[in-house]
Amino acid sequence: MNVVEVTKYGGPEVLVAGRAPDPVAGAGQLVIGVSVADVMSIDAQLRSGWGREWFPGEPPYVPGTGVAGRVLSVGDGVDAGWIGRRVAALVPGGGYAERVAADAETVVTVPDEVPLWRAAALVQVGPAALSLIRAAGLEPGTRVLVTGAGGALGLALVGLATAAGARVTAAAHGPAKQRAALEAGAATVVDYPRLEDPDALTDPGDSTGLSRPHDPGDSTGLSRPDDRTDAGGPAAPDGGGRFEVVFDGVGGEVGGCAFRLLGPGGRFFAYGVPSGATAAIDPAEADRRGVRVTGMEQVQFAPAEFSRLAEETMREIAAGRLATVVGLAVPLERAREAHAALEARELVGKAVLLVTAQAVRYRELGGPEVLELEEVPMPRPGPGQVRVAVRAAGVNPIDRKIRAGFPGATIDGPQGTGIELAGTVDALGPGVTGWRLGDAVFGQVASGALATHAIAEADRLVGKPAELSYAEAAALPVAVGTAVRTLRELGVGPGLTLLIHAVAGGVGLAAAQLARALGARVIGTASERHHEVLRGLGVHPVSTGTAWRSACPAAWTGCWTPRAGAC
């Protein structure tokens, strides 16, 4: 199977794609075919060599402790009914792989309405967030500070605390993370340098330049007061007192600052150390102020407790009460990029690794009902090919005809559909030059465009202009290509007249605009509801039927029916 290994301690470059034997389910275990792997900040920290005194083990090893996918096999003592089930799991390692063995007691079912990518993103974050919120004992009006609020766990805490009626201040670096925190429900956002500035804790516009978005309560059922002028409450003389609860996901100096902002009897939860160190908190000071300090033990669970919280997480996701932002989703072999993004502190929300793709396929000829969305192996480009992360795909009449069995179409095994796409290059095959990862492209493929990832010949793609949306670009290849070839055959040019039947279709519209650009006069048949749009494009519209005959001159260049060609 394909895996990504940490080959030695170091930067993201030590993550190397390779091969490893398929795992075998032992007693009490399941083997999961991984669709999506979670990427945690601690994965990057351990890869760098941090925490060796707490986390034994040496490279090479396969990282990754959270996955989602389907059960492939089970070991002794595990019900065979698990096979084929959609699941999410906590594993001791090995998640950056196509398959992983997991203890059955840390595997939970993923409801059909929950996408596997969301399950993977929240299988570790969700239980931690639920545990922290419960331990905090929040009530309506509780003043809460969340540091690291732009990360996955921070955003989950903001959302859950707001839903509990708390008044949340979110501390995060940069407008993108602060905006995400506002959208998650925070009443106020602040950047770390101004965390102890009373004026920065009154209105998000004061410190970030962001304005309050439309109240999410209108669409989510959450209710927050509009008046934010007392967002933190007055500061106590010793500098504390603005908050009753702090969720600290940063540690270090930021965590120490957050601790100072707690009032007497406050609750301080330290659950993350991306800064590399926990907050320096004087136990005597905490005792003097009656502050309860809780560390990582609140987010470390025995298997039975994890299972209970993970099952609740999946229910909360399905009900729409627990969400996160996935700021980066890249294929397994590009795990380096996910680690680099985490270390750059630029990522909003979660990073996940896509181990499989999704594609619309059919296994028999027929109507639309034969189409199914399926998990498929991540396609790999061959020589002269690129893999495209599809952002939009075109749907053409020929797709429908082939699926229905015309003309003479046959099927032997699962068949993809779609020949037009637009997206970004996310893998290069051998010998490909001229394209780079991340390039925005559009073009044609042999089949399989209706998928999250598709393979294209490198020379069948062109760069997408920035002013063109992905949806617009995906609609162009077949229509424009067909129109160009036909107009060239007809010799359309200045002073000539062209009649296009069914001009309001994709090919017809492309041909009409290109013919006008070449100086031709264009007459087009279409239903009356399209006439206004056609006039705006410089086309003389006539109704479908025989009305076009009176609109045509005695001598004309040609007539073109997109479905039948020139006539």
3-class state of residue 98 by DSSP: coil
CB 140 within 8 A of CB 133: no
Q: Is residue 230 part of a domain?
A: yes
Same domain, 403 and 456: yes
Q: Kindly report the CATH number assigned to the domain that includes residue 549.
A: 3.40.50.720
Q: Domain range spanning residue 443? A: 355-475
Q: How many independent structural domains does the chain possess?
A: 4
Give pLDDT < 50 ranges for the chain. Answer: 202-239, 554-557, 563-567
Q: Is residue 335 part of a domain?
A: no
Same domain, 418 and 515: no
Same domain, 267 and 369: no
Same domain, 193 and 80: no
Q: Is residue 32 part of a domain?
A: yes
Closest by Cα among 12, 7, 3, 70 to 343: 12
In angstroms, rounded to a whole number, what is the distance separating the alpha carbons of residues 84 and 88? Answer: 13
Q: Is residue 276 part of a domain?
A: yes
Same domain, 401 and 449: yes
In angstroms, rounded to a whole number, what is the distance separating the alpha carbons of residues 538 and 540? Answer: 7
3-class state of residue 524 by DSSP: strand
* Range 14-19 contact pairs with CB under 8 angstroms and sequence separation of 24 or more: 14/47, 14/59, 15/47, 15/335, 15/336, 15/339, 17/332, 17/333, 17/335
CB 358 within 8 A of CB 60: no
In the prediction, which pLDDT does 116 show?
96
The single-letter code of the amino acid at 189 is: V
Q: Is residue 328 part of a domain?
A: no
In angstroms, rounded to a whole number, what is the distance separating the alpha carbons of residues 252 and 243? Answer: 19
In the prediction, which pLDDT does 198 show?
62
Name the token pair of 5.
């290994």
Task: Mark which of 475, 492, 508 sits at the end of a domain.
Answer: 475
Sign of CA pseudo-dihedral 370, 371, 373, 374: positive
In the prediction, which pLDDT does 275 show?
60
Same domain, 375 and 516: no
Bridge partners (DSSP) listed for residue 66: 90
Q: Kindly report the CATH number assigned to the domain that includes residue 448.
A: 3.90.180.10
In the prediction, which pLDDT does 126 show?
97
Q: How far is CA 378 from CA 17, 72, 84, 350, 444, in A?
A: 14, 17, 19, 21, 19
In the prediction, which pLDDT does 300 show?
84
Q: Is residue 324 part of a domain?
A: no
CB 274 within 8 A of CB 339: no
In the prediction, which pLDDT does 278 show?
74
The single-letter code of the amino acid at 131 is: S
Same domain, 371 and 469: yes
Same domain, 226 and 95: no
Same domain, 196 and 287: yes
In angstroms, rounded to a whole number, what is the distance separating the alpha carbons of residues 204 and 196? Answer: 15
Same domain, 168 and 231: yes
In the prediction, which pLDDT does 508 show?
93
In the prediction, which pLDDT does 201 show?
60
Task: Mark which of 49, 80, 109 sits at the end of a domain.
Answer: 109
Same domain, 500 and 430: no
- Which helix (H) or strand (E) covers residue 145, if one does? strand 143-147
**Non-local CB neighbours of 551 within 8 Å, separated by 6+ positions:** 523, 540, 542
In the prediction, which pLDDT does 204 show?
42
Task: Mark which of 80, 109, 138 sits at the end of a domain.
Answer: 109
Peptide bond into 127 cis (omega under 30): no
Q: Is residue 341 part of a domain?
A: no
Q: Is residue 412 part of a domain?
A: yes
Same domain, 179 and 294: yes
Pairing, β 440-444 against β 461-463? antiparallel
The pTM (predicted TM-score) of the whole model is 0.81
Question: Alpha carbon 13 to chain centroid distance?
Answer: 24
